[in-house]
Amino acid sequence: MKQAIFLGLVVCVLFGTALNGLADQDHGPKTITLKTPLGVITFPHAEHQAKISDCTTCHHMGPEKGKCTNCHGDGGKAPMAMKAFHDQCKGCHKEANGPMKCRQCHVKQ
């Protein structure tokens, strides 16, 4: 009986450690490059992940839905990607003292 309890505890610890490791993993690329008419945005995705623990804060439909422009594109019901990004990013940047001026994110190359 003691062996069964001990084995059960070992399994729980190992399973819990494995799940905790999955929760701590980063998802997606470390950086994302967006080409815009005002210049290239190099978005530090990994840095943002370190600051925001819930992916749905930015990926409101979940990251598995694919590119933002799948919904935030021409002619859809959702706002255009530029408006959605600016609303989302600038709102958060204002609270967190992040970059607010155009050329701080949009870099001419």
List pLDDT tens digits, range 12-54: 433 443 333 334 446 889 999 999 999 999 999 999 999 988 8
Q: Has residue 55 been placed in a domain? A: yes
Q: Please, which pLDDT band fits residue 70 given cuts at 50, 70 and 90? A: confident
* DSSP sequence for 29-59: -S-EEEEETTEEEEE-HHHHHHH---GGGT-
More confident residue, 7 or 86: 86
Contact status, residue 58 vs residue 48, Cβ threshold 8 Å: yes
Q: Has residue 4 been placed in a domain? A: no
What predicted TM-score, i.e. pTM, was given to this entire model?
0.65
Q: Has residue 17 been placed in a domain? A: no
Token pair 């070992």 in the structure block, residue: 10
What angle is formed at CA 31 by the lines to CA 26 and CA 34, rounded to 5 degrees?
A: 135
Dist CA 36 CA 108 (whole Å): 10
- The domain containing residue 75 runs over which residues? 28-105
Token pair 């594109």 in the structure block, residue: 73
Which pLDDT score, from 0 to 100, does residue 69 have? 85
Task: Encode pLDDT of 14-23 as tens digits.
Answer: 344 333 333 4
Q: Residue 70 is part of a domain; what is its CATH number?
A: 3.90.10.10
Q: Has residue 61 been placed in a domain? A: yes
Non-local CB neighbours of 96 within 8 Å, separated by 6+ positions: 51
Provide the number of structural domains found in the chain: 1
Q: Has residue 3 been placed in a domain? A: no
